[in-house]
Structure 1
């Protein structure tokens, strides 16, 4: 009888997974953000760097979303918000837009499959933005995904698509004005809380954003949740393209977040 063949690669992967679990357990023992938001930037440049078509970069970007969402959920982060598609992205070439919309439909179905990531962690999916602009097939996929996950209560994934912060704030103001015109709200009752209650994100009733991360080295917000990050948010710009973003980038961000939280508790008056 021949002896079993030793595989260094299998051994290496086992050790790597064990170290990752240990590292996540250590990180989770400290203060964790309740809500983290990502501007998933750099998919097309990632594809271009590798000499591949743009849609390959977008598929790699979805794989990165799955990996990073899994890490966040294992750390106990209760809400993740991602910038998936800007309203201005409809100005891209028809071929790229159609490819992106087809990918969105396919991946929404995959995320909600039995035993997949959202079901495993009890995640509720919300697609927020001017969804009436989406093609009918994508709207149907959105409705199905939201319906299948609506009873999940352990965590929330907000997918902003198609989205623009200025459009969100304009829509919120229009809703408030309509309330005043119907006599449901007086001018004196218009407040920050009232505006906040009419933002897309308020539909999820989640914690305020603690951390905003933008990948690809670009240092701007690109009209993403500007209302929601106007106060007490730690912002990090990372040079890596979104498909390359992973645990090695998250660790320094989370350690810095924990350092600031501990400093506030120890040295700043409550």
Structure 2
């Protein structure tokens, strides 16, 4: 299946989307896509088939989010802790990722037409080298798109994300590029891979965060549902948004950065893009 399923919304569903859009719709939604393995067991198929169905559900969800006017979607695809799973399952997950990122590059004109920008959040150095190249190419190829930003947390945990962000700050202070007094909450947030979601949805009945976006979600509305991720429907998504509308988070005012903070962030962004280019050319 393509990255965006164009034919997954009926006329009645579009009508319901328009009704929900009369209220406040979260501009950044995060998903912990849990339940692929339980779905596979339920359907008496292997784990890789369950993960494949999970990707198909992501392609539908992206279309729903585009129709709702959501500007950023973050999904938890592969935790660093997942490396502890069986070699067979981890290999199957990497093979699925290779297939999907190759397909994305084949469909890049359509992806750019939809205006989807891809960002892979996580410790890319932990991935196989060929997969590092594929995800780097995908990020570079979609970097100018601005309708919907899709963040895929892959080889990710929040603790690792925060550790890497702190490391960037320490290096800049040691290099006299940043004054320690310039370090505040807003600057730390900008060093992280992921921004702050307004709504976080976890499927499969689990009510844990599993080391996902721990810094970012202090003001995020949380929604837990028993449905397994491959069975997640537009009605589940609309129910989550209605829950959000009943418990809207306060809009936080963003502080302006000082010139030295802006220079640090500019250099940090430049370094990250240079690293992607280095991976691609390796």
Does the pair score TM above 0.5? yes
Query: Distance between the aligned counterparts of 2:212 and 2:47, measured in 1?
Result: 22
Query: Distance between the aligned counterparts of 1:153 and 1:74, measured in 2?
Result: 15
- How far apart are 1:112 and its partner, in Å? 4.2
Q: How does 1:1-270 map to 2 (within 5 A)?
A: 17-114=10-107, 118-201=111-194, 208-230=196-218, 232-261=219-248
Question: Would the aligned equivalents of 1:43 and 1:242 in 2 still touch at CA under 8 Å?
Answer: yes
Query: Distance between the aligned counterparts of 2:222 and 2:235, measured in 1?
Result: 17
Question: Would the aligned equivalents of 1:127 and 1:160 in 2 still touch at CA under 8 Å?
Answer: yes
1:212-253 alpha-carbon deviations (Å, 9 max, x no partner): 0001101100000111112x2100111011101111211211
Query: Distance between the aligned counterparts of 1:264 and 1:185, measured in 2?
Result: 31
Query: Distance between the aligned counterparts of 1:19 and 1:30, measured in 2?
Result: 18
Question: Would the aligned equivalents of 1:70 and 1:117 in 2 still touch at CA under 8 Å?
Answer: no
TM-score, scaled relative to structure 2? 0.81
Q: How many residues align?
A: 244
1:95-154 alpha-carbon deviations (Å, 9 max, x no partner): 111110010011122234437763342010011100111111211210221122111111
- How far apart are 1:209 and its partner, in Å? 0.8
Structure 1 residues 241-250 or 189-198, which shifts more?
A: 189-198
- How far apart are 1:29 and its partner, in Å? 2.7
Q: What SS class does the counterpart of residue 225 from structure 1 fall into?
A: coil
Q: What SS class does the counterpart of residue 17 from structure 2 fall into?
A: helix
Query: Distance between the aligned counterparts of 1:188 and 1:260, measured in 2?
Result: 36
* Distance change >3 Å, CA 115–CA 25, structure 1 → 2: farther
Question: Would the aligned equivalents of 2:204 and 2:228 in 1 still touch at CA under 8 Å?
Answer: yes
Q: What SS class does the counterpart of residue 127 from structure 1 fall into?
A: strand
Question: Would the aligned equivalents of 1:110 and 1:116 in 2 still touch at CA under 8 Å?
Answer: no
TM-score, scaled relative to structure 1? 0.85
Q: CA RMSD in A?
A: 2.0
- How far apart are 1:24 and its partner, in Å? 1.5
Unaligned runs of at least 5 residues, structure 2: 1-6, 252-282
Unaligned runs of at least 5 residues, structure 1: 1-13, 203-207, 266-270
Question: Would the aligned equivalents of 2:221 and 2:247 in 1 still touch at CA under 8 Å?
Answer: no
Query: Distance between the aligned counterparts of 1:264 and 1:162, measured in 2?
Result: 31
